[in-house]
């Protein structure tokens, strides 16, 4: 029974990880950019949700679409005006650029919002099923995270924009020849990446206390999920997220919580070398 509880915790955590990483994965896969801003986008989304709730009493579920829209705008503009200028250059260039942008955003958040841990407390109680204990807000977070990830999947498969993004990911030059405006698709993709980060942040703020000190941790999670699951695909992020959540949950149980992170990273390093395409085997950009 105890293992079932650990497994349930892992699945909830994993759903959140998938939602957290899917935008990062999309940007990496389509733009070939390692977005160092991703962690800060998550925290920004979380903070905005928190302040909407604390200052104006807006329910997080109501705030989420607005937060997501704001993040989309930030992402779109950042890509269009800044990152697009060097998007085709080597890894280190774009990585350094987004790291520089991250320093600015991070600094802004620590000065204006401070690094105090914050959390939206909804007090929804908990449920117990077959001996498994689960706070309702977590369950709620999981459902929301899965729903958002699923919506992104549907968007990529079904919509015109989604098809264009996938086309650019497969072959940018051919897509350009077919009349797709690459720079605009890049901006939209980066916007969606930021949107998913913001939404993930909004969900996190309902489940855990968040602080700007966590940006690096969230970014690290996104790395690990992408490598475990495989880059640039929604199913990859889902598999990677769930795998990491469950592994961390069990590693925490067996080796103590302080080792849970280490196991995740070690797994990432091993997978990188053994199977760089990730568990799903869907080939990434390179």
Partner 1 sequence: MTPTTRYLIFALWVIVLASTPLWAGNYFVRMAITIAMFSALTLSWNLIGGFTGYPSLSTAAFFGLGCYVGALSQRAGVPMILAWVAATVFVAVLAAVFGAIILRLRGHYFAIGSIGLVEVLRLVTSSWGSLTGGGDGLNVPLVQGGPNVVAQTFLAAMVTIMVIVFVVTVLVDRGRLGFGLRCIQQNEDAADMVGVDTTRYKVIAYTLSAMFCGTVGAAYASWTGYIDPTDTFSILMTIKVPVMCLLGGAGTVLGPVVGTGVYMILEEILWANFLDYNRAILGAVTVLLILFLPGGLLRISYKTVLAQLAARFNRLGAAA
Please report, as ranges, the residues that interact with partner 1 according to CB under 8 A: 28, 32, 34, 82, 85-86, 89-93, 95-97, 99-104, 106-108, 110-111, 216, 220, 223, 227, 256, 258-259, 261-262, 265-266, 268-269, 272-273, 276, 285-286
* Residue (1 or 273) nearer to partner 1, CB: 273
Q: List Cα–Cα distances, 22 to 6, 157, 231, in angstroms.
A: 24, 15, 9
Q: Name which of 8 and 239 has its Cβ closer to partner 1.
A: 239
- Smallest distance from partner 1 to CB 160, Å: 28
Rounded Cα distance, 273 and 42, in Å:
29
Cα 81-86-90 angle, rounded to 5 deg:
155
For partner 1, give the closer residue by CB, 104 or 178.
104
Q: Is the separation of the CB atoms in 280 and 18 below 8 Å?
A: no
Give the residue with the Cβ less far from partner 1, 178 or 270.
270
Of the pair 66, 113, the CB lying nearest partner 1 is at 113
Shortest spacing between CB 120 and partner 1, in angstroms: 27
> Least distance to partner 1 from the beta carbon of 73, Å?
19
CA atoms within 13 A on the CB side of 224: 24
Least distance in Å: CB of 6 to partner 1?
Answer: 19
The smaller minimum CB distance to partner 1, of residues 147 and 272, is found at: 272
CB of 163 to partner 1, least distance (A): 25
What is the nearest approach in angstroms of partner 1 to the Cβ of residue 90?
7
């Amino acid at each position: 029974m105890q293992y079932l509880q650990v497994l349930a915790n892992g699945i909830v955590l994993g759903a959140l990880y998938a939602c957290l990483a899917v935008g990062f994965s999309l940007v990496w896969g389509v733009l070939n950019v390692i977005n160092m801003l991703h962690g800060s986008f998550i925290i920004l989304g979380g903070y905005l949700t928190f302040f909407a709730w604390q200052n104006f009493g807006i329910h997080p579920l109501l705030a989420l679409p607005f937060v997501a829209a704001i993040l989309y705008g930030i992402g779109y503009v950042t890509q269009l005006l800044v990152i697009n200028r060097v998007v085709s250059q080597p890894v280190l260039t774009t990585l350094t650029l987004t790291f520089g942008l991250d320093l600015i955003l991070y600094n802004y958040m620590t000065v204006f919002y401070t690094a105090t841990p914050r959390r939206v407390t909804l007090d929804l109680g908990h449920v117990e099923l077959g001996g498994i204990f689960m706070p309702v807000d977590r369950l709620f977070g999981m459902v929301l995270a899965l729903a958002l990830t699923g919506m992104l999947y549907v968007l990529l498969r079904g919509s015109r924009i989604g098809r264009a993004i996938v086309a650019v990911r497969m072959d940018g030059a051919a897509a350009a020849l077919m009349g797709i405006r690459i720079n605009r698709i890049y901006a939209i993709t980066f916007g969606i990446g930021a949107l998913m980060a913001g939404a993930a942040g909004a969900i996190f703020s309902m489940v855990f206390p968040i602080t700007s000190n966590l940006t690096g941790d969230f970014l690290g999670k996104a790395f690990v999920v992408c490598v475990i699951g495989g880059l640039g695909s929604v199913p990859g992020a889902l598999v990677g997220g769930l795998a990491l959540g469950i592994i961390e949950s069990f590693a925490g149980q067996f080796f103590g919580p302080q080792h849970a992170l280490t196991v995740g990273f070690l797994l990432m390093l091993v997978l990188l070398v053994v199977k760089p395409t990730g568990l799903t085997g869907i080939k990434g950009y390179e």
